[in-house]
Amino acid sequence: MTMETKYQKIEGIVARELSCSAHAMEHVMRVYNLCLHLTKYELNVDRDVLKTAALLHDIARVKEFNDKTGNIDHSVLGAKMAEKILRTLGYSEEQIAHVKHCIAAHRFRSKVKPQTKEAKTLFDADKLDVLGAIGIARSFMIAGQYGQKIYSDISIQEYLKDNVVEEKADGRVRDISKHTPNLEFELKFKLVSERLYTQKAREIAKERLQFMENFFEKLKREIKGEC
């Protein structure tokens, strides 16, 4: 079986698993393409491992979204799901371990840190897709899907205590319906650029983050009835 055939089979499996609009195949393929773009500026990257991990990185997203306990971490569960899929497709044990690490380490709110070039590249590509115009669009897609308000004036400390595991900015959100796009911006988006690993990703993030900063400032003013 060729690698291209394996990618096609993986893509089909992932497409069946995903139903959340902001984490559907459109997101997966944007991350996939961003990974390929970033590899143009990095040396000695295993593109087969990276492509595979990019396609599988959010396979457990829907299961996490549907879990109201906050116990399911899609990066952890996704790595386990990927292992079974890759073994049936004839990936080597070394490749499987490598891909599993990429998936387990791709999440912003994760205790597992990327240790390989492939894992760092996937992490950066996934984070870039929450920034800029596409990041804003995705935030409001999620807000609509889960009945969120478009803006919240709650203090960050109060919100962390009420709805975030361990009351930490990088903790998992317990009830996504209580979240809002501007809270996600404050708790996650603002912190993204300082966590990126590759120089090219940091350059892209700087421009995208400024765009978002301007947007949420204007949104706040308009909500208050200001010009």
Domain 3-223 in this protein, CATH class = mainly alpha
Instruction: Find where tokens 């978002």 sit.
Output: 212
Domain boundaries, the chain: 3-223
| Residue 209 amino acid letter | L
* Terminal C-alpha separation, the chain: 60
**Per-residue pLDDT in tens (0 to 9) along the chain, 227 residues:** 899 999 999 999 999 888 765 568 899 999 999 999 999 999 999 999 999 999 999 998 888 877 777 788 888 889 999 999 999 999 999 999 999 999 999 987 777 899 999 999 999 999 999 999 999 998 998 899 889 999 999 988 899 998 888 878 767 788 888 999 999 999 888 888 889 999 999 999 999 999 999 999 999 999 988 87
DSSP state at residue 69:
S
Phi–psi pair at 109, nearest 5 degrees: -95, 65
In total, the chain counts a number of residues equal to 227
Residue 2 and residue 138: Cα distance in Å, rounded?
Answer: 34
Q: How far apart are CA 127 and CA 147, in angstroms?
A: 24
d(CA 82, CA 49): 12
